[in-house]
């Protein structure tokens, strides 16, 4: 293991024999080399940096969701509440990122949009990983990554694995709820289809809303994640409408129309439908 950099006092300033420990840990000097704009427009820098921030949030949220999933799988429901709480707060931060792009009018975006070529947020692999963790799955969404062999292999693995919601439904079954085998053993590469038995299980959980009911607390934590993710989709749609209207998105994506359709696919669906019967 390499020796730690030695700090010495020099003219009332701390000097390090090597790079500053902060940079060794955060890699800030590397991060600040990654903003490589392709136009001379000053506004592109905002667009690029915010896009990179969002990518980091996608990875962070996926990390928290996978940690919560592991704990739920191990029946450690109380432990799963903390990464879910963090995931909800990270989603708040992700959503706040849109606010710093509210200055962008169609004219502002059009000044550099043409130079983006075929680049589109639709091609974010980490966003797909985050969606898969939430239970939103479609094999057609990973086809654009086929030529990126490592990325495609990771996405293929992820789409075949249980999602956080799959693990939560399995937990409900272990807690004595009569969940059909076809729900527990379904094709993991497709969206979870809402099931009345899962809905009924949540109705029973919500019949005992108290701090000692770990399933009730789990439901509330998942609800917060689901609500914040829904806000993300809405804010994304608003940003697209503000800059593009209903024109096709970059790289030929369908833009606002795709975002509207995606909003019709809720995460954790029975958590929402169960409220009708409470």
Place of tokens 């914040």: 228
Binding site per annotation, positions for heme: 236
**pTM of the full structure:** 0.90
Q: Give domain status of residue 28, yes or no.
A: no
Question: Tokens for 128?
Answer: 């797909």
Residue 270 is encoded by which pair of tokens? Answer: 């029975």
**φ and ψ at 32, to 5 degrees?**
-80, 0
Feature table: binding site? 113, 236, 250
Over residues 182-198, the mean pLDDT reads: 94
Structural domain total, the chain:
1
pLDDT by residue (tens digit) across 29-63?
999 999 999 999 999 999 999 999 999 999 999 99
Residue 187 domain-assigned (yes or no): yes
| 137 found inside a domain | no
Whether 33 is in a domain gets the answer: no
Does a structural domain hold residue 263? yes
Say which CATH number the domain at 206 has: 1.20.58.480
Domain range for 89: 44-110+162-277
Query: Is the predicted pLDDT of residue 154 greater than 90, yes or no?
Result: yes
Dihedrals φ, ψ of 14, to 5°?
A: -80, 125
Average pLDDT over residues 179-207: 95
Is 16 part of any domain?
A: no
Helix (H, G, I), strand (E, B) or coil at 213: coil
Q: Which residues are annotated as a binding site for substrate?
A: 113, 250
199 lies in a domain? yes
Task: Determine, yes or no, domain membership for 39.
Answer: no
């Amino acid at each position: 293991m390499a020796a730690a950099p030695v700090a010495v006092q020099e003219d009332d300033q701390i000097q390090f024999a090597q790079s500053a420990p902060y940079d060794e840990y955060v890699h800030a000097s590397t991060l600040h080399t990654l903003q490589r704009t392709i136009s001379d427009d000053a506004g592109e820098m905002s667009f690029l940096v915010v896009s990179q921030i969002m990518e980091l949030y996608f990875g962070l949220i996926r990390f928290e969701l996978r940690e919560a999933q592991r704990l739920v799988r191990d029946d450690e429901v109380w432990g799963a509440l903390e990464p879910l709480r963090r995931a909800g707060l990270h989603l708040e931060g992700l959503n706040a990122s849109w606010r710093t792009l509210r200055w962008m009018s169609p004219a502002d975006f059009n000044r550099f949009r043409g130079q983006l070529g075929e680049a589109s947020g639709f091609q974010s692999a980490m966003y797909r990983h985050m969606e898969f963790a939430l239970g939103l799955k479609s094999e057609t969404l990973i086809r654009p990554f086929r030529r990126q062999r490592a990325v495609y292999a990771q996405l293929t693995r992820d789409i075949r694995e249980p999602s956080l919601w799959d693990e939560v439904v399995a937990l409900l079954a272990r807690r004595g709820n009569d969940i059909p085998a076809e729900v527990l053993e379904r094709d993991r590469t497709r969206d979870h289809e809402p099931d009345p038995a899962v809905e009924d299980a949540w109705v029973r959980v919500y019949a005992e809303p108290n701090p000692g009911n770990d399933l009730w607390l789990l439901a509330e934590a998942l609800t917060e994640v689901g609500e914040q993710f829904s806000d993300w989709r809405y804010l994304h749609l608003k940003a697209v409408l503000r800059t593009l209207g209903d024109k096709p998105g970059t790289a030929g994506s369908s833009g606002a129309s795709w975002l509207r359709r995606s909003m019709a696919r809720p995460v954790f669906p029975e958590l929402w439908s169960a409220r009708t019967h409470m």
